[in-house]
Amino acid sequence: MNVESVVETRFFREIKTFEVLRDLIKKHNIRKFEFWSGACATGEEPYSLAIMFYEMGLSNKNVKILATDINPIFLDKARRGIYTKQDVEKSERGGIIKYFREVEEGYEIDKDIKKYIEFRQFNLRDFDRYKALREKFEFIFLRNVFIYFPLILVTKILKYISTTLNKKGYLFLGNKEVYYSDFFKRDILNDVVVYRKKEKSIKEKNNFTPKNITNSNLKRYEPNLSLFINLIDKGKIKKAKQMLLFFNKNSFEYWFVNGVIEDIENRGEEAKRCYLESISRNPEFPLSHLYLGNIYYSKFLYENAYREYVYALEGIENGEWAKLLPKDNLEFIKAFLKNRIGV
């Protein structure tokens, strides 16, 4: 994403999510906690949280909000806390103007509200940085940011996010974002989907992995696309990567697997090339279309994305490939495609 670009956000965006959060905190009488607003943009989201906590009588000594974003320009604006009158009026909840004072450049948020928040730059793709946040948070907002990532990377980010949530914690995504992850169970509270950490990730259904593939049994299992997809799905990227060796370089599978790896490692152009190679060898395989569609989508090339999503859905509904995917994942992918295509 271009750092100069304007971002869509507003105070109390998707207000129901705030109401569900407030009810949870009240119900469990949680007075002390750490909160992560993981793609806070220009600050409207964490300031809305801080206003709500202030009104609930929660002290800024006991409640800390870490607000992060990749974009330093957005973060500068967030730290200043100065907004236009329209920004304040766009709030989905009324009555917040009392938390601002008029200054020369606009409306500045109250310093008591600012005290809840620490702003920091954080790239959600920077996986080395998650270690420092281990089991730190009771609550995480990660709303309306996954649109920038290929689906396959969302799976990986969710895995890392799960490590930063404490055992009883809750993750909230945007209202239109429903993702499947082996590391979370989903619940619906008052029409809002909440994600809770699973005690332990489900044991792999496969009782073989590349680790125990030896020369003698290699033949039996190669090339196993289903295993590869399973490993990726479970966030076992290293093991999945080793599988590349088992595919014939002329096969569509090889190019698909290669594409997924490039995708995860954030080399979008390479990934695109690999998916196209895969499609040229087997135009019916739906996942190459799906992931290529996601690359186009993240680059705002909606027409191209639409075309790929239509091919992907056709391929999946035709059934032949569906058996490759875990059942709930299949349902999720179908729903995802229908949503993006608008059917």
Cα angle value 292/298/299 (rounded, 5°): 95
CB of 121 vs ligand SAM, minimal distance in Å: 9
In terms of CB distance, is 160 or 254 closer to ligand SAM? 160
Q: How many residues does the chain have?
A: 343
**Residues pairing with 139 in the sheet:** 35, 170
Tokens encoding 161: 């996010």
Distance CA 66, CA 142 (A): 12
**Minimum distance, C-beta of residue 109 to ligand SAM, in the bound complex (Å):** 16
Find tokens 């000594």 and name the residue.
Answer: 61
> 17 to each of 12, 43, 115, 176, 250, how far by Cα in Å?
9, 17, 23, 12, 48
Instruction: Give 117's strand partners.
Output: 65
39 binding ligand SAM? (CB under 6 A): yes
According to the binding rule CB under 6 A, does residue 165 interact with ligand SAM? no
Give the pair of three-digit tokens for residue 140: 């995480």
Window 105 to 164, contacts with ligand SAM (CB under 6 A): 123-125, 143-145, 148
Considering only residues 41, 58, 65, 240, which one is a binding residue for ligand SAM as defined by CB under 6 A?
Answer: 41
Q: Which of 49, 70, 193, 261 binds ligand SAM (CB under 6 A)?
A: 70
Pick the binder of ligand SAM from 2, 4, 6, 8 (CB under 6 A). Answer: 8
Find, among 46, 35, 53, 54, the residue nearest to 11 by Cα. 46
Stretch that binds ligand SAM, among 39-47, 78-86, 219-227, 323-331 (CB under 6 A): 39-47
| Of 4-12, 18-26, 298-306, 325-333: span binding ligand SAM (CB under 6 A) | 4-12
Identify which of residues 12 and 247 has a Cβ nearer to ligand SAM in the complex: 12
